[in-house]
Structure 1
Amino acid sequence: MDTTIGTKPEAKTENQRLREEILARLSELGGQRVKDDALIFEGTKFVLPANMEGRVDDAIEYLEDWKEAQEEDYAYSREFRYRPWDGAAAFDRAMKRLFGTTGLGARTVSFFGSRPPEYRTIDVAHGQTTQVPWGKVAFKPLSATFELGVSMHDDFGLVFALSVNAPKKYRTHIEAFFAVVEDELTTGSIYKGRAITAADTPQFINTSTVDPSRVVYSDDVMTQLNANVWSVLRYADTMRQIGLPLKRQVLLYGPYGTGKSLAGMLTAQEAERHGWTYIQVRPGDDLGNALRTAQIYAPAVVMFEDVDQINTDSTQGVAQLLDILDGVTNKGVEVMALFTTNHEDRLHRGMMRPGRLDAVIELAGLDAGGTKRLVEAVVPAHLRSTSMDWDAVAQAFDGLLPAFAKEAIDRAQRYAIARSGGVPQVIEARDLVDAAAGIRQQVKMMEDAPLATNKDSLGAALTRTVSSALQGHHVDHFGDALRIVPSTNGIPA
Structure 2
Amino acid sequence: MFEAAQKRIAASGHRLLLTSDEIADESETPDRQCKLCSGFSNENLFTLRGVRTLICIDCTSDITNGFPEIIRNKQFDHACDALNWHFTGIPRDQLVATTRQFPGHMRADVQVAVDRLFSASPLRLFGIYEQHRYETLTFAGLTREGRDASAIAPAQYHDVDVGEDALVKCLNNGLWLCQDKDLRYAVVLSSHREYGYEARTRIEIAVPVGAAGAQFVQRCFAELEGAVNAARSYRGKVLSLDSDNEYRGRSRGIMVHKLPPVQREDVILPAATIKLLDRNVLNFVGSRAQLRRLGQSTRKGILLYGPPGTGKTHTIRYLASNLPDHTTLIITAAQISMLAQYMSLARLLQPAMVVIEDVDLIARDRDDMGPCEESMLNGLLNEMDGLKQDADILFVLTTNRPEQLEGALASRPGRIDQAIEVPLPDSVGRTKLVQLYGRGLPLGDAVVEEAAQRTKGVSAAFIKEMMRRIAQASIARDGGTTVEPGDIGEALDDMLFAGGKLNVKLLGGAKEMAVG
Q: Is the structural similarity TM-score above 0.5?
A: yes
Contact 1:105 / 1:115 at 8 angstroms: preserved in 2?
Answer: no
Gaps of 5+ in 1: 20-66, 451-493
1:356 equivalent to 2:415? Answer yes
Q: Is the 8 A contact 2:307 2:424 kept in 1?
A: no
Count of residues in Structure 1 that have an aligned counterpart in Structure 2: 387
1:257 to 302, 309, 333: 309
Please give the alpha-carbon distance, in whole angstroms, between the structure 2 residues aligned to 1:248 and 1:138. Answer: 46
Structure 2: runs of 5+ lacking an equivalent = 1-6, 12-40, 44-54, 72-88, 128-141, 143-150, 243-250, 363-367, 507-516
Matched, 1:133 2:171: yes
Letter in 2 for 1:164: I
Q: 1:159 to 1:413 in 2, by over 3 A?
A: closer
CA contact (8 A) 1:249 1:359 kept: yes
Query: How many percent of aligned residue pairs carry the same amino acid?
Result: 18
Q: Which amino acid aligns with 2:238?
A: A
Which residue in 2 is equivalent to 1:283? 333
- List per-residue Cα deviations over 1:311-352 (Å, max 9, x = no partner): 734696796244321465640222222222221110245523
State the secondary structure of the residue aligned to 1:301: strand
- Structure 1 residues 294, 166: CA separation in 2 closer, same or farther (over 3 Å shift)? same
Amino acid across the alignment from 1:365:
L
Q: Distance in 2 between matches of 1:106 and 1:147?
A: 11
TM-score calculated relative to the size of structure 1: 0.63
Q: Does residue 1:168 correspond to 2:209, yes or no?
A: yes
For 1:357-389, what per-residue CA distance to the aligned partner results, in whole angstroms no more than 9, with x for missing partners? 11222222112332232222222367122x448
What does 1:65-214 align with in structure 2 at a 5 Å threshold?
72-79=94-101, 83-87=103-107, 89-96=109-116, 100=120, 105=125, 115=152, 118-126=155-163, 129-135=167-173, 137-141=175-179, 142-150=184-192, 160-169=201-210, 170-199=213-242, 200-208=251-259
Partner SS for 2:156: strand
* Paired amino acid for 1:312: M
How much has 1:73 moved relative to structure 2? 0.9
Which residue does 1:339 correspond to in 2?
A: 397
SS of the residue 1:246 aligns to: coil
**Structure 2 matches for 1:281-430, cutoff 5 A?**
281-285=331-335, 286-309=338-361, 312-313=369-370, 320-326=378-384, 330-349=388-407, 351-380=410-439, 383-385=442-444, 387-388=445-446, 394-414=452-472, 421-427=477-483
1:476-487 matches, cutoff 5 A: none
Counterparts in 2 of 1:354 and 1:445: CA distance versus 1, 3 Å: farther
TM-superposed CA distance for 1:267, in Å, is: 3.8
The structural deviation recorded for 1:224 is 3.1
Question: Over the residues paired in the alignment, what is the CA RMSD in angstroms?
Answer: 4.5
Contact 2:189–2:201 (8 Å) recurs in 1: no
- Residue 71 and residue 241 in structure 1: after superposition, are their counterparts in 2 closer, same or farther (change >3 A)? same
Of structures 1 and 2, the one with the larger relative CO (CA 8 A, separation 6+) is: 1
Distance in 1, matches of 2:218 and 2:305, equals 51
435 and 84 in structure 1: CA distance in 2 versus 1, 3 angstrom threshold: closer
Whether the aligned pair in 2 keeps the contact of 1:255 and 1:342 (CA below 8 Å) is yes
- Give deviations 1:184-233, integer Å, cap 9, x for gaps: 22445433333221341233232325765655434343333333334455
Q: What's the CA shift for 1:404?
A: 0.9
Distance 1:245 1:165 in 2: 44
Paired with 2:402 and 2:224, the residues of 1 have a C-alpha distance of: 46
* Cα distance in 2 between the residues matched to 1:448 and 1:95: 56
Instruction: After TM superposition, give the deviation of residue 441 of structure 1 in Å.
Output: 5.4
C-alpha contact 2:442 2:482 (8 A) present in aligned 1: yes
2:175 is paired with a residue whose SS is strand
User: Contact 1:193–1:277 at 8 Å: present in 2 too?
Assistant: yes
CA distance in 2, matches of 1:344, 1:317: 21
Tell which deviates more after alignment, 123-132 or 329-338.
123-132
**Helix, strand or coil: the match of 1:205?**
strand
Most deviating of 242-251 and 226-235:
226-235
CA deviation string 1:227-260 (max 9, x = no partner) = 3334455665565566664312222222222223
Instruction: Note closer, same or farther for the CA distance 1:449–1:375 as it changes in structure 2 (3 Å cut).
Output: closer
Opposite residue 460 of structure 2, the aligned amino acid is P
Partner of 1:445: 501
Which residue identity is paired with 2:327? T
Distance in 2 between residues matched to 1:391 and 1:160, nearest whole Å: 59
Structure (1 or 2) with the larger CA radius of gyration = 2
Using the alignment, how far apart are the partners of 1:365 and 1:190 within structure 2?
A: 38
Does structure 2 retain, via aligned residues, the 8 Å contact 1:79–1:160?
yes
| C-alpha distance in structure 2 between counterparts of 1:415 and 1:269, whole Å | 33
**Separation (CA, whole Å) in 2 of partners of 1:335 and 1:100:** 37
TM-score w.r.t. length of structure 2: 0.61
CA contact (8 A) 2:161 2:256 kept: no
SS at 1:257 equivalent: coil
Residue 60 of structure 1 corresponds to none
> Aligned letter for 1:5?
N
Amino acid at match of 1:105: L
Query: Is the CA contact (8 Å cut-off) linking 1:251 and 1:340 kept in structure 2?
Result: yes
Closer, same or farther in 2 for the Cα pair 1:191/1:140, shift >3 Å? Answer: same
Amino acid in the other structure paired with 1:224? L
Are the equivalent residues in 2 in contact too, given 1:249–1:358 (CA < 8 A)?
A: yes
Cα distance in 1 for partners of 2:478, 2:503 equals 34
Query: Is contact 2:231-2:349 (8 Å) kept?
Result: no
